[in-house]
């Protein structure tokens, strides 16, 4: 499948194809955009296009080089990504992991060797914002003096957390979320493939998943739909019960969210609910995400002012940021504090 077949990123792919055919490939790229919309897929495609032995300005997907890159067995194409601290098992984890200086040193060493098969050495850093300061400073040296025949691709969902000196050394390509119709199509097809007959996906569910994921196929496909809808239901049912006169209930709700499997995701549902209530206040019913339960949403939004809802949205977002790295604030306390503020602000 050549570059031109990539779904939904015509503009981004166009920039890369032009650079390849003009043989003016930057030493380092910064791919910026929401998680799971195809940045890594595009980075690997670029690695294939630069090493394909059959085509000079695209990739064939069938030659030995293309196949080895797909199987992660091509020595000159390597991907580094955030890992959990060793104490937690060292697993790859894009949410809570970090990229440490050791990983960067390893890359620097590998980039210093000559390309084994005479092509380009490609280093993809997926989740580059998870490099700690030390790692970023070390990486900067490589960007300042790029080894010959190497291309570095930094992938981030938030470009603002990297050192400005790193950003300024890279050619930036902004990836937009996938258009809704393309998302719905992909999500629907993949869900049907994985769930078979067990779950008939109607258009509403596919559209809801697409919206909640913010145009991120990776996110939508990582979800178990039934448990996701259940998770949302809990959050929505909890909200009207929040009250400063029932602190016990409030602490219990905070515990359920913070001790659950995916606290950041639970807060995302809460945030999207506030977003939708605010949108309803502004009369934008056709733009809401939780469109399948519009009557409940309208009921919740009644009696609240737009300013309070917008403020609630901000508070939830802040709480999400606080419990994620590098802050790692205490989850239980952060969520308790958040729910108290939401109850006070209703
Ligand atoms: Zn090929």
> In order of start, what are the domains of the chain with their CATH numbers?
3-174 (3.40.50.300), 224-344 (1.20.272.10)
The DSSP bridge partners found for residue 123 are: 78, 152
Distance 216 CA to ligand 1 centre (A): 28
- Could you tell me the distance, in angstroms and rounded to a whole number, from the CA of residue 59 to the centre of ligand 1? 5
Give the model's pLDDT for residue 153. Answer: 97
User: What's the 313 CA to ligand 1 centre distance in angstroms?
Assistant: 47
Start-to-end CA distance of the chain, whole Å, equals 52
Return the ∠ at Cα 154 (arms to 153 and 157), rounded to 5°. Answer: 135
Q: Is the peptide bond before 69 cis (omega within 30 degrees of 0)?
A: no
- Which of 122, 103, 101 shows the shortest CA–CA distance to 52? 122
- For ligand 1, the distance from its centroid to the CA atom of residue 73, given in whole angstroms, is 14
CA of 257 to the centre of ligand 1 (A): 47
If 0-12 CB within 10 Å is exposed, 13-18 middle and 19+ buried, where does residue 245 land? exposed
Ligand 1 centroid from CA 182, angstroms? 27
- Report the separation in Å between the CA atom of 186 and the middle of ligand 1, taken as the mean of its atom positions: 25
Question: CA 342, CA 165: separation in Å to the nearest integer?
Answer: 39
| The two structure tokens encoding residue 55 | 């085509």
State both tokens at 118: 């005479």
The sheet carrying 150-156 orders its strands as 77-80, 121-126, 150-156, 28-32, 171-174
Residue 229: how many other CB atoms lie within 10 Å: 17
pLDDT in tens, the chain (346 residues): 577 777 778 889 999 999 998 989 999 999 998 877 889 989 999 999 999 999 988 899 999 999 999 999 999 999 999 988 777 777 888 877 899 999 999 999 999 998 888 889 999 999 999 999 999 999 999 999 999 999 999 999 887 889 999 999 999 999 987 777 777 777 777 666 666 555 556 666 666 776 666 667 777 777 777 778 888 899 999 999 999 999 999 999 999 999 887 888 889 889 989 999 999 998 888 778 888 788 999 999 998 999 999 999 999 999 998 998 777 889 999 999 999 999 987 7
Q: What number of other Cβ atoms are within 10 A of residue 296's Cβ?
A: 16
Distance 74 CA to ligand 1 centre (A): 12
Measuring CA to CA, how many Å separate 63 from each of 16, 76, 340, 345? Answer: 21, 16, 59, 61
Could you count the other beta carbons within 10 Å of the beta carbon of residue 236? 17
Query: Pairing relation of β-strands 28-32 and 150-156?
Result: parallel
Residue 1 CA to ligand 1 centre (angstroms): 10
Q: ∠ at Cα 172 (7, 44), nearest 5°?
A: 45
Tell me how far the alpha carbon of residue 64 lies from the centroid of ligand 1, in angstroms: 7
The pLDDT, as a whole number, for residue 116 is 81
8 Å CB contact between 48 and 122? no
């Amino acid at each position: 499948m050549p570059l031109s077949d990539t779904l939904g990123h015509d503009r981004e792919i166009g920039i890369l194809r032009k650079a390849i055919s003009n043989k003016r490939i930057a030493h380092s790229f910064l791919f910026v955009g929401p998680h799971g919309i195809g940045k890594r897929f595009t980075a690997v495609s670029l690695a294939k296009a630069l090493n394909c032995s059959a085509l000079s300005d695209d990739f064939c997907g069938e030659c030995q080089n293309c196949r080895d890159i797909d199987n992660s067995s091509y020595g000159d194409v390597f991907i580094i990504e955030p890992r959990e601290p060793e104490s937690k098992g060292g697993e790859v984890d894009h949410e809570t992991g970090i990229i440490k200086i050791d990983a960067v040193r390893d890359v620097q060493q590998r980039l210093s060797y000559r390309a084994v098969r005479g092509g380009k050495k490609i280093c993809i850093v997926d989740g580059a914002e998870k490099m700690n300061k030390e790692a970023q400073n070390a990486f900067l040296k490589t960007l300042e003096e790029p080894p010959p025949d190497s291309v570095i691709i930094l992938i981030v969902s938030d470009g603002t957390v990297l050192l400005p000196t790193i950003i300024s050394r890279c050619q930036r390509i902004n990836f937009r979320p996938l258009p809704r119709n393309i998302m719905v199509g992909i999500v629907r097809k993949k869900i049907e493939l994985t769930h078979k007959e067990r779950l008939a996906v109607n258009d509403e569910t596919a559209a809801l998943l697409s919206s909640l994921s913010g145009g991120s196929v990776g996110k939508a496909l990582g979800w178990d739909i039934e448990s996701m809808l259940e998770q949302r239901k809990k959050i929505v049912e909890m909200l009207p019960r929040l009250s400063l006169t029932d602190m016990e209930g409030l602490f219990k709700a905070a515990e359920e969210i913070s001790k659950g499997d995916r606290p950041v995701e639970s807060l995302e549902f809460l945030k999207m609910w506030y977003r939708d209530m605010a949108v309803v206040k502004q009369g934008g019913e056709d733009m809401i995400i939780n469109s399948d339960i519009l009557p409940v949403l309208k009921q919740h939004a009644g009696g609240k002012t737009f300013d309070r809802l917008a403020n609630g949205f901000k508070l939830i977002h802040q709480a999400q940021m606080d419990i994620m790295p590098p802050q790692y604030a205490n989850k239980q306390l952060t969520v308790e504090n958040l729910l108290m503020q939401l109850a006070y602000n209703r």
